[in-house]
């Protein structure tokens, strides 16, 4: 039985009750400008031309009304959403799944190149009410006859200008010609070049035109940086940054409710005033936490996106994206929590090596780069601690009456035959025992040994050689003859599958977060490929690469024993000491 939803700003629209309930559960309170403009038009079945960037809330602007109009009794595709990239296709599909959580029997299917074809075929056979895909893979299924557009009611083109830049204009027109003549069309684009206007004039019927100003001006007022950090070293990285980064109030964003508690507890254990903020908290607890943050009794709130919606606290000087959001819209919403009331804000972003595509999507969305930063080194931490100690000494000398302590020091010096210098050294040690001035280098490089990189941030270690990308099938890769320890892996894709060295290098670079120049020899045989990679691949990256597809083939990466490193060492396991430098993967500072 459907329940009456809690009234929000969205209840002025004629959205279906299940969709409205999902919106309320997400914590959305007031529609964004593009949502307020688009939802009524799309519910009414009108064609629409929207000029807006990602980050304005346009995914919900078209997903909410189209989901509300579905006929769930029919398994045939009723909505086709075209996106330029597989990452965006997955993000849109995930959003549709979130907004449809109360629609019984609903199915959404993302289809894109690089995913197993047999999996897509099974899912298409089962039925999907909404299909989200890239133009090339959609055409592939249309030509196979595995995807039919006979019952398509709405076509959506998301980021149409990006599809134009990628050369998809002919594919888009061909897809339009396969769709029913009587259909609704919604086209969204950040810009409106002549080619997009041509498509609009040819395929849209008296479209309603909506133009929303970009949020990039607001975003550009916030100082943004990113750090490349592996998952297991995020907390170490965060506590080091917090030690040297002056901040007032801070929100740390994580993906799950469980993570809010875990991260807040660890920060408290490190001496920071931190609390969790998540959907499991009742309204009274939430209000108490927010009030403590406003009053300065709490410095850090660890929150999920849903829990932080509507949070407006002027003293928030920093936002930390501890977990990178899956869609750029969430990133814009998150960092908008800082820089309020004309104050300068700062946004820090943690990016795992295999999440580089999410960083690139964010940069495309906000139309600016998020520069790479190096994590504080041992020297940085030592210098900061010494400066803080000296500052505290001077402040104490100026602000406190120390006559009693001068007499006490003189007495101890006489009775114990200790010099003032000896006492000062011992007391300094005792005062800083919990935070020693001498910081071991091994504890200040959380990215070392945790991924395929050698140093954090955007600077590469000097290896003494400039190594070319692997372009040929034999013998001219990066690792040979350099001082980077390499080991050989076998990939289960070869010449018979049509693979090229460029495809191998591209897949490994994108999925492992590795610079192409640090991928060594690429030797393509008939049924497999051998490739040299920097020694010490972590287990999570190794497992991830097992599932990466190239030329519709899983790589099924396998390390060859005795090739380049200790013969029986597992990826991420103990490695022999070579004294040589590791390869460095630089973050995507452009």
Q: List pLDDT tens digits, range 189-239.
A: 877 888 888 889 999 999 999 987 655 555 667 899 999 998 888 998 998
Residue 352 has pLDDT above 80, yes or no: yes
Q: Is residue 348 within 8 Å of residue 580, measured between CB atoms? A: no
Q: How far is CA 194 from CA 128, 156, 160, 186, 191, in A?
A: 34, 19, 12, 17, 10
| pLDDT averaged over every residue in the chain | 80
Could you tell me the pLDDT band of residue 470, with boundaries at 50, 70 and 90? Answer: very low
Strand ranges (DSSP E) for 254-299?
Answer: 274-277
Q: Which residues pair with 318 in a beta bridge?
A: 250, 346
pLDDT at 244: 85
Q: Is residue 440 within 8 Å of residue 378, measured between CB atoms? A: yes
**What is the length of the chain?**
590
Residue 510 has pLDDT above 60, yes or no: yes
Per the structure block, which two tokens stand in for 305?
Answer: 């996106």
Quote the CA–CA distance of 517 and 520 in Å, as a whole number: 8
Q: What is the mean pLDDT of residues 481-488?
A: 71
Q: Is residue 63 within 8 Å of residue 83, measured between CB atoms? A: no
Taking only the tens place, the pLDDT of each residue in 406-442 is 999 899 888 888 888 888 888 888 888 777 777 765 4
Q: Which residues pair with 276 in a beta bridge?
A: 302
Could you tell me the pLDDT band of residue 5, with boundaries at 50, 70 and 90? Answer: very low
Residue 584 has pLDDT above 50, yes or no: no
Residue 479 has pLDDT above 80, yes or no: no
Residue 579 has pLDDT above 50, yes or no: no
Per the structure block, which two tokens stand in for 36?
Answer: 């307020």
Q: Cα 240 from chain centroid?
A: 21
Could you tell me the pLDDT band of residue 382, with boundaries at 50, 70 and 90? Answer: confident
Residue 453 has pLDDT above 60, yes or no: no
């Amino acid at each position: 039985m459907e329940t009456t939803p809690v009234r929000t700003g969205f209840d002025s629209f004629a959205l279906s009750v299940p969709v409205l309930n999902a919106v309320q559960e997400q914590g959305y309170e007031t529609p964004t400008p593009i949502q307020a403009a688009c939802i009524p038009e799309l519910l009414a079945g009108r064609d629409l031309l929207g000029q807006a960037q990602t980050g304005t809330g346009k995914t919900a602007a078209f997903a909410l009304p189209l989901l509300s109009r579905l006929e769930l009794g029919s398994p045939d595709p009723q909505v086709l959403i075209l996106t330029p990239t597989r990452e965006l296709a997955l993000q849109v599909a995930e959003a549709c799944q979130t907004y449809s959580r109360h629609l019984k029997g609903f199915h959404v299917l993302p289809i894109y190149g690089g995913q197993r074809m047999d999996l897509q075929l099974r899912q298409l056979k089962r039925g999907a009410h909404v299909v989200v895909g890239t133009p090339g893979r959609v055409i592939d299924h249309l030509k196979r006859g595995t995807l039919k557009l006979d019952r398509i009611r709405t076509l959506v083109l998301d980021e149409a200008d990006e599809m134009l830049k990628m050369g998809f204009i002919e594919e888009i027109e061909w897809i339009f010609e396969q769709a029913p003549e009587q259909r609704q069309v919604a086209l969204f684009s950040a810009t409106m070049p002549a080619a997009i206007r041509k498509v609009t004039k040819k395929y849209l019927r008296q479209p309603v035109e909506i133009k929303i100003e970009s949020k990039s001006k607001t975003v550009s007022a916030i100082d943004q940086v990113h750090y490349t950090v592996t998952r297991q070293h995020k907390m170490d990285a965060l506590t080091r940054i917090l030690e040297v980064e002056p901040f007032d109030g801070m929100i740390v964003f994580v993906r799950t409710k469980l993570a809010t508690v875990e991260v807040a507890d660890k920060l408290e254990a490190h001496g920071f005033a931190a609390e969790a903020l998540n959907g499991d908290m009742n309204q009274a607890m939430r209000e108490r936490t927010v009030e403590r943050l406003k009053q300065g009794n709490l410095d850090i709130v660890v929150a999920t996106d849903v829990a932080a919606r509507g949070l407006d606290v002027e003293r928030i000087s920093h936002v930390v994206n501890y977990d990178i959001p899956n869609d750029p819209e969430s990133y814009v919403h998150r960092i908008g929590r800082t820089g309020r009331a004309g104050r300068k804000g700062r946004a820090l972003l943690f990016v795992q090596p295999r999440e580089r595509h999410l960083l690139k999507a964010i940069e495309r969305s906000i139309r600016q780069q998020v520069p790479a930063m190096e994590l504080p080194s041992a020297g940085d931490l030592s210098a900061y601690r010494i400066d803080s100690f000296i500052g505290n000494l001077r402040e104490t000398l100026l602000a406190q009456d120390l006559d009693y302590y001068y007499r006490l020091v003189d007495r101890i010096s006489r009775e114990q035959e200790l010099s003032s210098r000896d006492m000062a050294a011992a007391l300094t040690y005792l005062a800083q025992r919990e935070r020693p001035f001498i910081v071991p280098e091994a504890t200040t490089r959380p990215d070392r040994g945790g991924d395929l990189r050698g140093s954090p941030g955007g600077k590469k270690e000097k290896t003494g050689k400039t190594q070319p990308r692997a372009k040929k099938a034999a013998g001219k890769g990066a690792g040979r003859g350099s001082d980077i320890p390499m080991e050989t892996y076998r990939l289960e894709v070869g010449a018979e599958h049509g693979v090229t060295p460029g495809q191998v290098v591209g897949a490994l670079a994108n999925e492992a977060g590795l610079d192409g120049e640090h991928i060594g020899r690429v030797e393509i045989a008939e049924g497999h490929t051998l490739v040299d990679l920097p020694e010490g691949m972590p287990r999570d990256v190794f497992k991830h690469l097992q599932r990466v597809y190239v030329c519709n083939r899983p790589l099924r990466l396998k390390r060859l024993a005795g090739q380049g490193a200790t013969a029986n060492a597992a990826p991420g396991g103990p490695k022999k000491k070579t004294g040589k430098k590791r390869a460095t993967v630089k973050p995507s500072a452009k």
